[in-house]
Structure 1
Amino acid sequence: MKTTIKEAKNYLNQEVTIGGWLHNKRSSGKIAFLQLRDGTGFMQGVVVKAEVSEDTFQLAKNITQESSLFVTGVITEDTRSDLGYEMQVKSIEVIDEAHDYPITPKNHGTEFLMDHRHLWLRSKKQHAVMKIRNEIIRATYEFFNNNGFTKIDPPILTASAPEGTSELFHTKYFDEDAFLSQSGQLYMEAAAMAHGKVFSFGPTFRAEKSKTRRHLIEFWMIEPEMAFYNHDDSLEVQEQYVTHIVQSVLKNCTIELKTLERDTEKLAKVATPFPRISYDDAVTFLKEEGFDDIEWGEDFGAPHETAIANHYDLPVFITNYPTKIKPFYMQPNPENEDTVLCADLIAPEGYGEIIGGSERINDLALMEQRINEHELDAESYSYYLDLRKYGSVPHSGFGLGLERAVAWISGVEHVRETSPFPRLLNRLYP
Structure 2
Amino acid sequence: MKTTTISQAPNYHEQTVKIGAWLTNKRSSGKIAFLQLRDGTGFIQGVVVKNDVSEETFQLAKNITQESSMYITGKIVEDARSPFGYELQVSDIELIHEAHDYPITPKEHGTEFLMDHRHLWLRSKRQHAVMKIRNEIIRATYQFFNDNGYVKIDPPILTGSSAEGTTELFHTKYFDEEAYLSQSGQLYMEAAAMAFGKVFSFGPTFRAEKSKTRRHLIEFWMIEPEMAFVEHEESLEIQENYVSFVVQSVLKNCKLELQALDRDISSLEKVQAPFPRITYDEAIELLKEKGFTDIEWGEDFGAPHETAIAESFDKPVFITNYPTGIKAFYMKPHPEREDVVLCADLIAPEGYGEIIGGSQRIDDLELMEQRYEEHGLTGEAYQWYLELRKYGSVPHSGFGLGLERTVAWIAGVDHVRETIPFPRLLNRLYP
For this structure pair, what is the TM-score category when the shorter chain's length is used for normalisation? over 0.9
- What secondary structure, in the 3-state scheme, does the structure 1 residue paired with 2:296 have? coil
Whole-Å separation in 1 of the counterparts to 2:53 and 2:229:
69
Per the alignment, residue 282 of structure 2 pairs with 281
Q: Which range moves more in the overlay, 124-133 or 53-62? A: 53-62
Give the total of aligned pairs. 430
Per the alignment, residue 400 of structure 1 pairs with 401
Quote how far apart the aligned CAs of 1:84 are: 1.3
Deviations 1:85-130 (A, max 9, x none): 1100011111000000000000000000000000000000000000
Whole-Å separation in 2 of the counterparts to 1:368 and 1:415:
38
Q: RMSD value over aligned CA atoms?
A: 0.6
Quote how far apart the aligned CAs of 1:80 are: 1.3
Q: Would you identify which runs of 4 or more consecutive aligned residues in structure 1 move more than 4 Å?
A: none
- What secondary structure, in the 3-state scheme, does the structure 2 residue paired with 1:297 have? coil
Q: Write the mapping of 1:21-420 to structure 2, written as runs, cut at 5 A.
A: 21-420=22-421
Letter in 1 for 2:143: E
Whole-Å separation in 2 of the counterparts to 1:267 and 1:145:
24
Quote how far apart the aligned CAs of 1:336 are: 1.3
Kept after mapping to 2: 8 A contact 1:372/1:378: no
Quote how far apart the aligned CAs of 1:401 are: 0.2
Quote how far apart the aligned CAs of 1:276 are: 0.3
Whole-Å separation in 1 of the counterparts to 2:288 and 2:337:
22
Whole-Å separation in 2 of the counterparts to 1:371 and 1:66:
58
- What secondary structure, in the 3-state scheme, does the structure 1 residue paired with 2:37 have? strand
Whole-Å separation in 2 of the counterparts to 1:151 and 1:35:
41
The normalised TM-score by structure 1 is: 0.99
Deviations 1:139-174 (A, max 9, x none): 000000000100000000000000000010000001
Kept after mapping to 2: 8 A contact 1:169/1:205: yes
Q: Which range moves more in the overlay, 369-378 or 250-259? A: 369-378
Per the alignment, residue 424 of structure 1 pairs with 425
Whole-Å separation in 2 of the counterparts to 1:289 and 1:75:
56
Quote how far apart the aligned CAs of 1:79 are: 1.2
Whole-Å separation in 1 of the counterparts to 2:254 and 2:356:
23
Deviations 1:336-375 (A, max 9, x none): 1100000000000000000000000001111111111111
The normalised TM-score by structure 2 is: 0.99
Deviations 1:258-310 (A, max 9, x none): 00000111100001100000000100110011101210000001111001101
Letter in 1 for 2:3: K
Whole-Å separation in 1 of the counterparts to 2:406 and 2:40:
23
Whole-Å separation in 2 of the counterparts to 1:365 and 1:166:
27
Whole-Å separation in 2 of the counterparts to 1:325 and 1:299:
7
Percent identity of paired positions between Structure 1 and Structure 2: 78
Letter in 1 for 2:90: V
Letter in 1 for 2:134: R
- What secondary structure, in the 3-state scheme, does the structure 2 residue paired with 1:312 have? coil
Letter in 2 for 1:138: R
Kept after mapping to 2: 8 A contact 1:229/1:395: yes
- What secondary structure, in the 3-state scheme, does the structure 2 residue paired with 1:355 have? strand
Letter in 1 for 2:146: N
Quote how far apart the aligned CAs of 1:334 are: 1.3
Quote how far apart the aligned CAs of 1:29 are: 1.1
Whole-Å separation in 1 of the counterparts to 2:104 and 2:37:
16
Deviations 1:171-196 (A, max 9, x none): 00011111000000000000000000
